[in-house]
Amino acid sequence: MFYRMGVSIIVVSLVASATLAQDARPQGANTELFKQLNEGDLTPEQSRDLQKIRNLKTTVDAKVISLDVEALRSASTVTVRLDSSRATDIGLGGLQTASSGSSDKYIAGPNGELSKSSALGTTTAASQDFARVGSISPSSDNPTPRKSIFHVEGNRVFGSIFASDAVYDIRPIAGGSAHVLIKVDQTKFPPEHPPASRPDNRGDLPPDAGVVQNSQLRKPNDSKVYDIRVLVGYTPAVKAAVDSPAGLIGLAIDATNSSYQASKIRAKAVLAGTVEVNLVESGNFSKDLAALRTMQSLREARHSANANVVVVLVNESQACGLASQIYANPANAYAVVYYDCAVTNLSFPHEIGHLQGARHNPEEDSAGVPFAYGHGFLKPTQHVRDIMAYDCAEGCVRQPQWSAPPDFGTPDRSNAAKVIDETAPYVASLH
């Protein structure tokens, strides 16, 4: 799930009473978002889900907590205790519409038939669903601001907190009234891409890059924010592993949009639809990606949802993800992502970034096509890296941000934000 630290799991029940609204809180006091509870109070189903999370290689510890969902809705600042020794304040941005609920849901049947379904997970009225992006103030030791993303569907909260030394994940468990706060060790994630010919076993890149035509790129006077419509699939194995695929997908879309906003990219990821894909996972990313690209029911779902790109979540830990091509064309704008890497390792926007034309940091990938300046960026002195970069020797937490000069990139090599912004019109035209 996340970074070069441990994974602490904290189970949370939600406190949603109206008496906790911001106008009822003491003036000048920040709200404590979490309160620790007794793990013995969990139901058997919740204990089962908690154990599933603890069994992940990236998970280190678990604590049961209550979570004040009304504070996420109304407070401007909340305090979180990510471990027992320190309190961290998160300033919350404005209320946003959650990336969920209204998108179409499909099921691909065993014989290839396609049908709309509500089986993705429990959803609630749109008025109860919201998202908020938070910021952890920079310090003298870590001057780069850290982001937090919260996706709320009714009483279910999905979130990621990108702290200075680690990343934390929030997931609901059975019943929706309890949650888990997970401190993630990013070094325990599988390779970024499936291992193959690279001697360091860190994974191969997607196949050769697509050919760029200048007519496909954003024109100098074009300030439009382009919608990138994403159809997100998930396999039965993911459905069995995750309490709510819907919430995880919504958080992945929100994290992608948070990264666009943070990097001043004029694009918006739109959840075009969700589809339960009838794929028996083989354990081989390349094989499964090839099978998904030719699956008739998935093609039909993409057409019905008018989606530009397709990302399928899988439950196989051979790698964190794989895109069909760097700078995709209409026929191969597909990617697969291991669900546990999707948000806490930002592999969901990472693979979409490949489809949009971005590459890894130049220390790992020196190729200059399709864009010489389209690489990720490392900042080892501050222990951070952008979405497209591999880890650094000093330990760099991946942030929901794209490389961009002057402070988080270079003009000639590491300006992935420019690539994503320039290619937005083209990617938005893929069908």
DSSP secondary structure, 229-263, as one string: EEEEEE-HHHHHH-S-HHHHHHHHHHHHHHHHHHT
Q: How far apart are CA 304 and CA 411, in angstroms?
A: 40
Strand arrangement, sheet containing 104-108: 114-116, 104-108, 267-276, 226-234, 309-314, 334-338, 321-323
pLDDT of residue 146: 85
pLDDT of residue 83: 78
pLDDT of residue 100: 59
Average pLDDT on 54-73 reads 87
Tell which wins on pLDDT, 109 or 336.
Answer: 336
pLDDT of residue 57: 93
Average pLDDT on 196-225 reads 77
Does 351 participate in catalysis according to the annotation?
A: yes
Q: How far apart are CA 67 and CA 56, in angstroms?
A: 23
Q: How far apart are CA 416 and CA 361, in angstroms?
A: 10
* pLDDT at residue 125 is higher than 70: no
pLDDT of residue 363: 94
Sign of CA dihedral 354, 334, 263, 425: positive
Exposure string of 386-408, with b = 16+ CB inside 10 Å and e = fewer, is bbbbbbbeebbbbbbbbbbbeeb
Structure confidence at residue 410 as a pLDDT band (50, 70, 90): very high
Average pLDDT on 230-246 reads 94
Q: How far apart are CA 219 and CA 136, in angstroms?
A: 35
Determine if residue 267 is left, alpha or beta; phi over 0 gives left, psi from -120 to 50 gives alpha, anything else beta: beta
* pLDDT at residue 8 is higher than 60: no
* pLDDT at residue 98 is higher than 50: yes
Strand arrangement, sheet containing 34-37: 31-32, 77-83, 86-92, 129-136, 146-153, 156-162, 167-172, 178-184, 8-14, 61-67, 34-37
Asked if the bond preceding 406 is cis, omega within 30° of 0, the reply is yes
Q: How far apart are CA 382 and CA 389, in angstroms?
A: 14
Q: Which residue intervals of 306-431 are DSSP H helices?
A: 347-356, 416-427
Q: Of these residues, 153, 276, 351, 364, which one is catalytic?
A: 351
Average pLDDT, the chain: 84
pLDDT of residue 196: 66
Q: How far apart are CA 329 and CA 429, in angstroms?
A: 10
pLDDT of residue 166: 83
Tell which wins on pLDDT, 221 or 16.
Answer: 221
Average pLDDT on 106-122 reads 44
Average pLDDT on 193-217 reads 71
**Highest-scoring range by mean pLDDT, 14-18, 181-185, 302-306:** 302-306
What residues contact 27, with CB distance under 8 A and at least 6 apart? none
* pLDDT at residue 36 is higher than 90: no
**Cα within 13 Å of Cα(132), Cβ side:** 20
pLDDT of residue 127: 54
What residues contact 317, with CB distance under 8 A and at least 6 apart? 57, 190, 338, 340
The two tokens of residue 324 are: 């069909």
Q: What percent of the chain has pLDDT over 90?
A: 62
Average pLDDT on 244-260 reads 95
The DSSP code for 283 is S
User: Lowest-pLDDT range, 44-58, 94-108, 330-344, 404-418?
Assistant: 94-108
H/E element, 313 = strand 309-314
Average pLDDT on 239-267 reads 95
Q: How far apart are CA 410 and CA 388, in angstroms?
A: 14
What residues contact 368, with CB distance under 8 A and at least 6 apart? none
* pLDDT at residue 42 is higher than 70: yes
pLDDT of residue 38: 81
* pLDDT at residue 197 is higher than 90: no
* pLDDT at residue 268 is higher than 50: yes
* pLDDT at residue 19 is higher than 70: no
